[in-house]
Amino acid sequence: MEEIKKVTKYYLLTPGPTPIPPEVALKEALPIIHHRTNEFAVIYRNVVEGLKDVFRTKNEVYILAASGTGAMETAVVNLLSHGDEIIVASCGNFGDRWLKIAQGYGLKFISICVEWGKVVKPSEIEKALKNNPNVKAVYTTFTETSTGVVNDIKTIGEIVSKTDAILVVDAISGLVGQEFKTDEWKVDVVVSGSQKGFMLAPGLAFITLNDKAWELVKTSKLPKFYFDIKKYKKSYITNETPFTPPVTLVVALEESIKFINKRGLENIWNDCKLLAKAARAGMTALDLKLFGEVPCEVVTSASVPIEIGGKIVKMLREKYGVSIAGGQGDLKGKIIRFAHMGYIGKADLLIGLACLEMVLVELGIKIEKGKAVAAAEEVLLKTE
């Protein structure tokens, strides 16, 4: 039996997947082309060159057919050997994923885990590196999407670069939306994915490695086949991937990179910063306590009473067609998260806040209708 839907228009304000611009979505609908052709090679070359700009690196960026986690696993199996020691600095669910991958491969790890909502302290990494000179790599997260905070990668990069260890950063949700400079910040390996700032359907993962990281690749003995980065490096020269690439997504990525370049990466960073400020003002106006020690610019989190956390997310989606995210793990039911990255604009944010107000009223929370929207408008109006 077919379900009769209450709403027919949807707004995706989740931190992945994010909405896809129409011009990018249209590319995903075109007839597929063969990947061992000159036609595809030209697109592939444009795409990898575009990715280098977005990553702010001079090094090659490889495209994998996987969700972001595939690139995370790639960054583990290609750099290390059984028994190697690493540091994992985690402040949330995605940071903990590094721990789980390390556990899966039998690595020795020193975990610097801070309470969810807090950020990683660079000085803790510095101390751990000093006490454990055999550490091969430090794994951490740029924007921790599960809590909405951002780690100081620039400072961490400075610290790790002075040692023999390499720094591996998960920038899956932060890249494109928030200022990130791979080479300048001395980050050795960066991973990302297609369904957040890149405004594409899920299915592509990206990874870049510098010379210091490639030295580790040479000695790495962990088992690998599909994610063997040497295979990707070899076929990169001929504008190919070692296995069939998700052709459709690569074609669409060319369009999404065009979209990014039309607005300009720096402008996009500023757009997200402004939306984050407006989102924070909106939530605060409703007396919702902002969550997170150092809020990032791609997603905004606020604490909500535990008994209504799940209901807010469900009602927003079912009654108004607005999808936001709730909390993960221990934060389930305790926070709500609004994304403002990629193809999410000022108007989308205002819609999200207006519908949040209505849901809160329906849940019997005492708020003044229009207050969040007004506070966000105030922020948006003050800026050109």
Ligand X SMILES: *Cc1c(COP(=O)(O)O)cnc(C)c1O
How far is Cα 61 from Cα 43, in angstroms, rounded to an integer?
A: 14
Task: Verify binding: residue 69, ligand X, rule CB under 6 A.
Answer: yes
Beta-ladder partners of 190: 169, 208
Which of 4-12, 48-56, 64-72, 148-156 is the region at the interface with ligand X (rule: CB under 6 A)?
64-72
First to last CA, the chain: 50
Give the nearer residue to ligand X in terms of CB position, either 169 or 286. Answer: 169
Which of 61-69, 230-238, 310-318, 331-339 is the region at the interface with ligand X (rule: CB under 6 A)?
61-69
Of the CA atoms within 13 Å of residue 60, those in its CB half-sphere come to 20
Task: Verify binding: residue 282, ligand X, rule CB under 6 A.
Answer: no
Give the nearer residue to ligand X in terms of CB position, either 59 or 178. Answer: 178
Q: Which of residues 19, 68, 245, 282 is near ligand X by CB under 6 A?
A: 68
Q: Which of residues 57, 173, 241, 248 is near ligand X by CB under 6 A?
A: 173
Q: Which of residues 74, 90, 140, 145 is near ligand X by CB under 6 A?
A: 145
Helix (H) or strand (E) holding 211: helix 211-219
Task: Verify binding: residue 193, ligand X, rule CB under 6 A.
Answer: yes
How far is Cα 340 from Cα 97, in angstroms, rounded to an integer?
A: 23
Give the nearer residue to ligand X in terms of CB position, either 285 or 298. Answer: 298
Q: Which of residues 21, 52, 65, 67 is near ligand X by CB under 6 A?
A: 67
How far is Cα 140 from Cα 144, in angstroms, rounded to an integer?
A: 9
Q: What is the DSSP letter of 185?
A: T
Task: Verify binding: residue 141, ligand X, rule CB under 6 A.
Answer: yes
Give the nearer residue to ligand X in terms of CB position, either 173 or 303. Answer: 173
Which two three-digit tokens encode residue 362? 């329906």
Task: Verify binding: residue 323, ligand X, rule CB under 6 A.
Answer: no
Task: Verify binding: residue 192, ligand X, rule CB under 6 A.
Answer: no
Task: Verify binding: residue 210, ligand X, rule CB under 6 A.
Answer: no
Beta-ladder partners of 8: none
Residue 242's Cα: distance from chain center in Å? 25
Considering only residues 7 to 46 of the shown chain, the ones binding ligand X according to CB under 6 A are: 16
Which two three-digit tokens encode residue 326? 């709730």
Count residues binding ligand X (CB under 6 A). Answer: 12
In the complex, minimum distance from the CB of residue 190 to ligand X, in angstroms, rounded to a whole number: 12
The Cβ of residue 316 has, within 10 Å, a number of other Cβ atoms equal to 21
DSSP letters spanning 19-75: ---HHHHHHHTSPP--SSSHHHHHHHHHHHHHHHHHHT-SS-EEEEES-HHHHHHHH
Which of 63-71, 211-219, 248-256, 305-313 is the region at the interface with ligand X (rule: CB under 6 A)?
63-71
The Cβ of residue 1 has, within 10 Å, a number of other Cβ atoms equal to 3
In the complex, minimum distance from the CB of residue 67 to ligand X, in angstroms, rounded to a whole number: 3
Task: Verify binding: residue 94, ligand X, rule CB under 6 A.
Answer: yes
Which of 81-89, 169-177, 264-272, 348-356 is the region at the interface with ligand X (rule: CB under 6 A)?
169-177
- The alpha helices in 56-150, defined as continuous H runs, are 68-77, 93-104, 122-131
Task: Verify binding: residue 328, ligand X, rule CB under 6 A.
Answer: no
Residue 207 contacts residue 189 (beta carbons within 8 Å): yes
In the complex, minimum distance from the CB of residue 192 to ligand X, in angstroms, rounded to a whole number: 9
In the complex, minimum distance from the CB of residue 201 to ligand X, in angstroms, rounded to a whole number: 11
Which of 4-12, 65-73, 119-127, 360-368 is the region at the interface with ligand X (rule: CB under 6 A)?
65-73
How far is Cα 115 from Cα 68, in angstroms, rounded to an integer?
A: 24
In the complex, minimum distance from the CB of residue 15 to ligand X, in angstroms, rounded to a whole number: 6
Q: What residues contact 31, with CB distance under 8 A and at least 6 apart?
A: none
Task: Verify binding: residue 172, ligand X, rule CB under 6 A.
Answer: yes
Which two three-digit tokens encode residue 85? 């020691």
- Four-CA torsion 366, 368, 373, 378, nearest 10 degrees: -130
Which of 168-176, 218-226, 311-319, 346-354 is the region at the interface with ligand X (rule: CB under 6 A)?
168-176
Instruction: Name the site residues for ligand X (rule: CB under 6 A).
Output: 16, 67-69, 94, 141, 145, 170, 172-173, 193, 202
